[in-house]
Every structure is written in C-alpha cells, then in structure tokens.
Amino acid sequence: MTISPAVALTQALIRQNTINPPGNEARCAVLVAKRLEENGFTVTAVPFGKERTNLIARIGGRDALPLAFTGHLDTVPLGSQPWSVDPFGGDVEGDRVYGRGSSDMKGGVAAFVEACIAHRTTLERGPGTVLIITAGEETGSEGAYHLCQQEGLLGAAGALIVAEPTSNTPLVGHKGALWLKAVARGVTAHGSMPEKGENAVVKAAHAVMKLTDFDFNVQRHGVLGGPTLNIGTFHGGLNTNSVPDYAEVSLDIRTVPGQAHVSVREMVGSFLGDAMEISPIIDVPAVWTDPGDPWIRRVFEIMAPLLGAMPAPQGATYFTDASALTPAMGRPPTVILGPGEAAMAHQTDEYCLISRIDQAVEAYGRLIEDWSK
C-alpha cells in the first residue's frame, strides 16, 4: 500500500507524545515547521510555556484576505483501559492509521499542511493562506487565546477552516463551553459529634440535586439544539471520621449562540444561592456562521460530489479553537471540516481512516483553488 504524504505526516505526528497535560507540543511543531519551510512557507514559532509551541505559517497574500486553516497538536490522556495497539506507533492496518490524536486531530493538521504544500503555486499568486497550529486546545484553547493576545500577530482572514474530526462533513458552528467550579464550605468537627460541625458535602449534595431542575430558559437553536448542564465531578471530605468543611463540584455547561456566558454564570450562582461559591474553569463561546453565507454555500457545493450528497447545515457539540480565533480574525465565515472520526475522539484504540485523510487533502485543495480564483 502506497502511503500519501499526508498519511506519512500523520504517522510522524502520532509518534510524538503530546498528551496534555503537559503537552510537549514543541516536538510536533518542529516537524510541521520543517515541512512547511522546506516548501516556501514563512513560519513563526510562538512559544507557549516549556516545550510548548504555537505555529503561524503563511504563503502568498495578494489582493484579498487569506484563507485560514487551524488545528491543534495536543491530545488527551490515554485513559484507564489498555490499548491493543501502540498509542504512539502510527501503525497502519487496512484503511486505518492508529494512535492517540489520529482523529483528534493530527490527521486533520497533516491534511491541510499537505494540501497547502500541494497547492503552494496557486497560493503564492493569490490571497494566500495562513496556517494556525496550536498547543493547548484540549484544556480550553489556551494556545489559541495566547496567540490572540499577541498584538498584530494573527491579522484578518477571509474564511477559516477548522480541521477537527467531522468525517469531512462541513459543520457551520459549535456550542460554547462554560465549565464552573462550585465550592461549598462548612465547619469541621469530630465524626462522632456531627452536630458541632457544618457538613460541606451535604451542602454540595443538596446543590447538585437542585441543579437537576435548572432551566436555562432560552429558546433552542435551530441546528445546535438547547444548552446542557452536566455535573462532572464531586469531591469532598478528608477522612471518614471528620465532618467535612470543604466540597467541590465541577459543572460542564454547553451553550448555544446568543447565550452570554456572564449571564449564564450569574443565573447558576443565583439559582444555587449562598450555599455555593462559583468560579470559571473554562470559558469559550459558541461559534456560528449563517448557512446562507456565500462562502459556506460554496463549501457545500464543493463538498457535495466528494461526499455523494449535498451537505445539510449541522453543528458540533464540542468546542474548537474557533472560539478564540474567529472573533480575533475579524469574524470570518467559519467551517469545521476534518478527516477524523468524531466518535473516535478521546477513545481507546483511536484511529483515523486513511481514505478520509486523503479525501480531506483533495477537499482542502479544491477549496484553496476556489478561494484563489
């Protein structure tokens, strides 16, 4: 079986352990930067902590705003279940390349890098492209927000393609994520004399049960549906024979376009009252582009023959770096389109279909040529 350049690059990226934390994305960034610089791209490395690097690569740039691509290099941990393959091997079996990050989203990064290299002559002559390759996406788009804080670094884009796993189906938006920490405080006492203390675990438990009745009181989004609230973790107490004076609960709230996170946070705090102290962990807004946008319509038209049907407007429940980048780059129309399998993200024995990676290279190439007309 002949391995395409995009699949070979995917394998090379998988073989670098970039589990976040700690990340160590610099190892992958060096590989990508070398590949791009060898093919005429100007690459800027933006350090982001120890052994962590964001990349911005450019080529071309005439007469109009560039087409932007983005993807991240960090991955989530392996999980507690044993893998049947080497998670950092990049092994190929049939139509699958295995490894942590294969679908989420080293296959996507490799696909747009190789597509841009293959079409570099077109890019050099026209509006060009900017590739934004980030660290720290999995923990709240920290790397992307770091880039946004560097004045004059990103610039505006005409459109943005986010290569997160969608099986190459174009998505026009995603929900936002507001993760909150809710803390209950009490008074410690001996476990044999609970009346002398104030039990923080009990206070937190009452709050958790109360949250099952929480209502966002907002209209459902026509594509993304309604907002959701999940109680993710519950920790409290030091030992069995003491009244706990501290308990902590984490909340995962997914919002829809139009919801202001400040207001949502205030609603949750008011709903829980003085029993819990609320503070944010992650705060990334929803992203949405009108499916009637002319460029989105072109994306659908270009993807239709590759997918075998005209795409319908869809969105993602997960968040992406577009939460940071789309506002910072002038709010260009944004599409989420990548070769990974969404169902494989964060899974044991994660894989990406080789045929999807090669299809993504073809799709990105057609979008580049169309943008450069």
Residue 182's beta-bridge partner residues?
249, 278
Domain boundary, last residue among 234, 256, 284 = 284
**Cβ proximity of 195 and 243 under 8 Å:** no
Q: Are residues 93 and 49 in the same domain?
A: yes
Structurally, the chain folds into a number of domains equal to 2
Q: Are residues 90 and 194 in the same domain?
A: no
- Name the token pair of 200: 């923080």
Residue 313's beta-bridge partner residues?
none
The predicted pLDDT at position 160 comes to: 98
pLDDT truncated to tens, each residue of the chain (373 aa)?
Answer: 799 999 999 999 999 999 999 999 999 999 999 999 999 999 999 998 899 999 999 999 988 999 999 999 999 999 999 999 999 999 999 999 999 999 999 999 999 999 999 999 999 999 999 999 999 999 999 999 999 999 999 999 999 999 999 999 999 999 999 999 999 999 999 999 999 999 999 999 999 999 999 999 999 999 999 999 999 999 999 999 999 999 999 999 999 999 999 999 999 999 999 989 999 999 999 999 999 999 999 999 999 999 999 999 999 999 999 999 999 999 999 999 999 999 999 999 999 999 999 999 999 999 999 999 9
Residue 267 is part of a domain; what is its CATH number?
3.30.70.360
Q: Are residues 228 and 95 in the same domain?
A: no
| 176-185/277-284 β-pairing | antiparallel
Domain boundary, last residue among 236, 256, 284 = 284
The predicted pLDDT at position 211 comes to: 95
Say which amino acid occupies 248. E
| 334-336/159-162 β-pairing | parallel
Measured distance CA(101)–CA(14) in Å, rounded = 6
Query: Residue 116 belongs to what domain range?
Result: 5-174+286-371
Q: Are residues 354 and 364 in the same domain?
A: yes
The predicted pLDDT at position 135 comes to: 98
Measured distance CA(361)–CA(342) in Å, rounded = 18
Residue 148's CB: how many other CB atoms inside 10 A? 17
Q: Are residues 10 and 134 in the same domain?
A: yes
**Cβ proximity of 24 and 18 under 8 Å:** yes
The pTM for the full model equals 0.96
Q: Are residues 198 and 269 in the same domain?
A: yes
Q: Are residues 82 and 227 in the same domain?
A: no
User: Longest C-alpha distance within the chain, in Å?
Assistant: 79
Q: Which of 246, 248, 221 is nearest to 317 (CA)?
A: 221
Residue 84 is part of a domain; what is its CATH number?
3.40.630.10
The predicted pLDDT at position 62 comes to: 84
The angle at the Cα of 6, spanning 8 to 40, to the nearest 5 degrees, equals 105
Q: Are residues 323 and 273 in the same domain?
A: no
User: Residue 31: is it exposed, middle or buried by C-beta count within 10 angstroms (0-12/13-18/19+)?
Assistant: middle
- Name the token pair of 373: 């007309």
Q: Which of 143, 135, 164, 110 is nearest to 27 (CA)?
A: 135
